[in-house]
């Protein structure tokens, strides 16, 4: 029962390779597959004929996407649609990852899967278009929306904060954007549970689900948790100052509320999502965040 994983070096893709190491896994990274080439995607999938496809590849440079919309849409929208078509042709389910940025953040409570989407930036619009392309095909699929992803590799808030907190005496961090940090290891471990349920004939309903850490914090709160770890390890740590998002303008607008309600995934697929603090503790204990300033 072969599984095709699209993506090799991204945060989620690397964790998936660890979690799925006992599965019959075929991995195609950027070197092996150009997601901007629909014909190449079709050719690879038809040659491999997998029983399950997991798409962990994405264009994730949120600010850069504002000036690079064509590439963002090619990778985040067109490619998932092609993968969905090929998966459906094989009778294979597709697991695909999306984002909290499909919402505008105006809701006062955590978002559920049926809430209206209204992305604020090019990245969010490209990811929403990918969701729509997959749903339009109509095959078996899981679209897993997640938020504030971090890992020990790649470019993410955790690694950036670790570096800056050790380099500076004072650091200003946005405190009026709320969400839940989600460890890539949590996403991968949850995906493994979903795959195992499917393999055992216990799949829940297909469709869109929210997969993120439980609970909530701000970017300032997450930075504070990172700082506590640095101080506990005897490392230097800057003094943190909270600021509004308006004081830190970026090319791409971010939603003020990125909270996702993950209760449907737990209810329908019987997987337990951890609180974001629990996952963060596990990540740190696993030497997932021991970056040192040169």
| Residue keyed to tokens 């038809």 | 46
Strand partners of residue 218: 178
- H or E element that contains 56: none
123 is annotated as an active-site residue: yes
Given a contact cutoff of 8 angstroms between Cβ atoms, the answer to whether 77 and 99 are in contact is no
Contact 264, 112 (CB under 8 A): yes
Answer for the pair 260, 100: CB distance below 8 angstroms, yes or no: yes
H or E segment to which residue 94 belongs:
strand 94-99
Which is nearest to 215 in space by CA: 173, 262, 264, 145?
262
**Catalytic member of 123, 150, 209, 288:** 123
Q: Residue 79: CA atoms inside 13 Å, Cβ hemisphere, count?
A: 30
Residues marked active site are found at: 123
């Amino acid at each position: 029962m072969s599984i095709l994983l699209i993506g090799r070096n991204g945060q989620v893709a690397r964790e998936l390779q660890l979690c799925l190491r006992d599965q019959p896994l075929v991995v195609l990274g950027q070197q092996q597959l150009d997601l901007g080439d629909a014909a190449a995607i079709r050719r690879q999938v038809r040659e491999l004929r997998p029983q399950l496809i997991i798409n962990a590849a994405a264009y994730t440079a949120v600010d850069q996407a504002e000036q690079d919309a064509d590439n963002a849409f090619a990778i985040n929208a067109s490619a998932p649609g092609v993968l969905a078509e090929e998966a459906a042709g094989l009778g294979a389910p597709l697991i695909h990852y999306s984002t909290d940025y499909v919402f505008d953040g105006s809701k006062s409570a955590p978002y559920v899967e049926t809430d209206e989407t209204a992305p604020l930036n090019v990245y969010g619009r490209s990811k929403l278009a990918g969701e729509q392309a997959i749903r339009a095909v109509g095959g078996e699929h899981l679209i897993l929306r997640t938020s504030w992803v971090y890992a020990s590799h790649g470019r993410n808030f955790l690694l950036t904060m670790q570096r800056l907190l050790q380099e500076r005496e004072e650091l200003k961090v946005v405190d009026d954007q709320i969400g839940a940090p989600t460890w890539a290891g949590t996403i991968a471990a949850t995906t493994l549970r979903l795959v195992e349920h499917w393999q055992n004939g216990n799949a829940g309903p297909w469709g869109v689900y929210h997969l993120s850490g439980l609970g909530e914090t701000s970017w300032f709160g997450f930075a504070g948790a990172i700082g506590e770890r640095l101080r506990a390890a005897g490392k230097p740590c800057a003094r943190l100052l909270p600021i509004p998002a308006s004081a830190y303008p970026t090319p791409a607008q971010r939603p003020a509320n990125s909270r996702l309600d993950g209760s449907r995934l737990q209810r329908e697929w019987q997987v337990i999502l951890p609180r974001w603090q629990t996952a963060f503790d596990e990540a740190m204990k696993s030497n997932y965040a021991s970056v040192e300033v040169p």
